């Protein structure tokens, strides 16, 4: 993001962010998002859906920051108690931060500065808080050239953040919330309020903004995989806004990200729903003695299950829990794997859906 003298406060000039092209794309993005909200409501167990999508997002969002992990490492980490490699821990922290933000939004319906700080702290596990020391610049990884100098003085950063939150919590313009989402994301990344974790914090704020504005009920739409696939354009368009105040390409990019990601998530939900129905039928037919709706749902809440998850969820003895999981393995629904001292049971077909 090329050097600018001073970051402008919100909102930007209306004619720059509401062009004919933007409005055309907006209607497609809104439609896909509306469809996603509707279909998500048809899944009886929302936890199942949130868990399925949140881990993928934690992985993708961290990947933008070059923190690379595999799905398998993450599932194992969530199910076992051992010490985690640093990369895995960062992704698990990000997942925790999404849930922290979601709980806050459900409870109070808005965010305060200290809430954003606690999301960032959960991601990075440090207490540094808002930048107080000048000297932060963003450089091109390859060439080392400075591409953007964010606001340096703490007073200015706090002033810009308070302006940001004012627009985040209440839509003071009558711009569509999806256009506003793009504007707010640009602004937060440009303020760059922390020493570390700005990108990841900003991407969590995106999903919370959609929930505040009733465009979704639960945190299941994430733009990180789209940004990962189109990373150079993402940075190019953010730069463009900063250097020339040209918003159109950037807002179109973000709206397209919403449309494509919503469609992709709809497809994934259909497949999860379908697999859930097939699994229920299979257990009813081939292991009727152990069939319980909660048991099958658990296999979808936790793609890696273990005895204590079953004990906790179904309030049964360990012996019974172990029998249930072994029976499910015998009929081909789960596959066991030994990690350290414990047996983990994989819902193979679900993991396939989540991976692709």
Please name the residue that has the structure tokens 């020493």.
195
* Beta-strand pair 138-139/342-346: unpaired
CA dist., res. 47 & res. 276, Å (int)? 14
Statement to judge: residues 241 and 293 lie in one domain: no
Statement to judge: residues 129 and 221 lie in one domain: yes
CA dist., res. 34 & res. 27, Å (int)? 10
Side-chain half-sphere of 290: how many Cα atoms within 13 Å? Answer: 22
Q: How far is CA 104 from CA 56, 108, 269, 323, in A?
A: 22, 6, 25, 39
SS3 332: coil
Mean pLDDT, range 74-86, rounded to an integer: 79
Q: Per-residue confidence at 300, pLDDT binned at 50, 70, 90?
A: very high
pLDDT digits over 254-272, tens only? 999 999 999 999 999 999 9
Predicted TM-score (pTM) above 0.95? no
pLDDT score, position 2: 44
Residue 270: inside a domain: no
Statement to judge: residues 224 and 175 lie in one domain: yes
- The number of folded domains in the chain is 2
Q: Which of 200, 234, 265 is the last residue of a domain?
A: 265
Residue 126: inside a domain: yes
Share of the chain above pLDDT 90, in %: 74
Statement to judge: residues 132 and 172 lie in one domain: yes
Residue 104: inside a domain: yes
Statement to judge: residues 311 and 257 lie in one domain: no
Statement to judge: residues 100 and 234 lie in one domain: yes
Please name the residue that has the structure tokens 């706090």.
158
Query: 81 or 139: whose pLDDT is higher?
Result: 139
- CA nearest to 219, candidates 238, 198, 239, 204: 204
**Confidence check: pLDDT of 85 > 80:** yes
Q: Which of 202, 231, 265 is the last residue of a domain?
A: 265
Residue 245: inside a domain: yes
pLDDT digits over 310-345, tens only? 999 999 999 999 999 999 999 999 999 988 788 899
Statement to judge: residues 256 and 305 lie in one domain: no
Statement to judge: residues 229 and 350 lie in one domain: no
Statement to judge: residues 211 and 322 lie in one domain: no
- CA nearest to 310, candidates 282, 288, 290, 287: 290
CA dist., res. 188 & res. 200, Å (int)? 11
pLDDT score, position 15: 96
Q: Which two tokens stand for residue 269?
A: 């939900």
**Confidence check: pLDDT of 115 > 50:** yes
Query: 215 or 142: whose pLDDT is higher?
Result: 215
Structural domain range at position 342: 287-355
Mean pLDDT, range 261-286, rounded to an integer: 96
Please name the residue that has the structure tokens 């919403």.
258
Strands, DSSP E only, in the chain? 138-139, 146-148, 304-305, 335-339, 342-346
Residue 149: inside a domain: yes
Q: Let me know the angle formed at the C-alpha of 85 by 325 and 354, rounded to the nearest 5 degrees.
A: 50
Statement to judge: residues 22 and 89 lie in one domain: yes
For 321, counting Cβ atoms within 10 Å of its Cβ (0-12 exposed, 13-18 middle, 19+ buried), the class is buried
Residue 101: inside a domain: yes
Statement to judge: residues 211 and 292 lie in one domain: no
Q: Per-residue confidence at 74, pLDDT binned at 50, 70, 90?
A: confident
The CATH number linked to 89 is: 1.10.3290.10
pLDDT score, position 5: 61
Residue 159: inside a domain: yes
pLDDT digits over 188-239, tens only? 999 999 999 999 999 999 999 999 999 999 999 989 989 999 999 999 999 9
Terminal-to-terminal C-alpha distance of the chain: 32
Q: How far is CA 13 from CA 147, 177, 253, in A?
A: 24, 16, 19
CA dist., res. 259 & res. 114, Å (int)? 31
pLDDT digits over 95-106, tens only? 999 999 999 999
pLDDT digits over 20-69, tens only? 999 999 999 999 999 999 999 998 888 888 887 888 888 888 888 888 88
Statement to judge: residues 202 and 246 lie in one domain: yes
Q: Are 182 and 255 in contact (CB under 8 A)?
A: yes
Q: Which of 232, 265, 298 is the last residue of a domain?
A: 265
Q: Per-residue confidence at 116, pLDDT binned at 50, 70, 90?
A: very high
Please name the residue that has the structure tokens 């994989």.
346
pLDDT score, position 67: 84
CA dist., res. 258 & res. 98, Å (int)? 18
Mean pLDDT, range 280-302, rounded to an integer: 95
The CATH number linked to 347 is: 1.10.10.10
Residue 3: inside a domain: no
Q: Which two tokens stand for residue 171?
A: 């839509």
pLDDT score, position 302: 85
């Amino acid at each position: 993001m090329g050097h600018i003298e001073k970051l402008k406060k919100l909102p930007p000039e209306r004619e720059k962010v509401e062009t004919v092209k933007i409005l055309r794309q907006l209607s497609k993005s809104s439609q896909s998002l509306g469809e996603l909200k509707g279909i998500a409501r048809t899944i009886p167990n929302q936890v199942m859906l949130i868990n399925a999508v949140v881990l993928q997002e934690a992985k993708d969002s961290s990947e933008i920051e070059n923190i690379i992990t595999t799905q398998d490492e993450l599932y194992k980490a969530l199910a076992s108690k051992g010490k985690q490699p640093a990369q895995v821990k960062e992704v698990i922290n990000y997942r925790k931060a999404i849930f922290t933000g979601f709980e806050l939004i459900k409870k109070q319906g808005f965010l305060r500065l200290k809430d954003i700080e606690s999301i960032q702290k959960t991601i990075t596990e440090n207490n540094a808080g808002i930048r107080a020391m000048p000297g932060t610049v963003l450089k091109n990884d390859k060439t080392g050239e400075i591409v953007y100098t964010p606001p340096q003085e703490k007073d200015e950063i706090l002033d810009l953040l308070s302006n940001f939150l004012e627009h985040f919590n209440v839509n003071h313009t009558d711009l569509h919330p999806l256009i506003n989402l793009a504007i707010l994301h640009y602004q937060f990344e440009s303020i760059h309020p922390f020493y570390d974790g700005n990108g990841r914090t900003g991407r969590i704020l995106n999903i919370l903004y959609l929930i505040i504005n009733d465009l979704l009920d639960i945190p299941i739409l994430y733009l990180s995989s789209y940004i990962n696939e189109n990373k150079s354009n993402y940075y190019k368009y953010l730069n463009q806004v900063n250097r020339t105040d040209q918003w159109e390409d950037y807002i179109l990019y973000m709206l397209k990200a919403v449309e494509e990601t919503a469609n992709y998530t709809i497809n994934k939900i259909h497949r999860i729903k379908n697999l859930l129905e097939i699994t229920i039928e299979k257990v009813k037919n081939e292991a009727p003695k152990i069939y319980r709706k909660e048991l099958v749902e658990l296999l979808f809440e936790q793609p890696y299950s273990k005895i204590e998850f079953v004990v906790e969820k179904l309030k049964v003895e360990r012996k019974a829990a172990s029998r249930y999981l072994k029976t499910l393995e015998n009929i081909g629904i789960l596959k066991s794997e030994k990690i350290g001292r414990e047996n983990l049971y994989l819902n193979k077909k679900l993991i396939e859906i989540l991976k692709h």
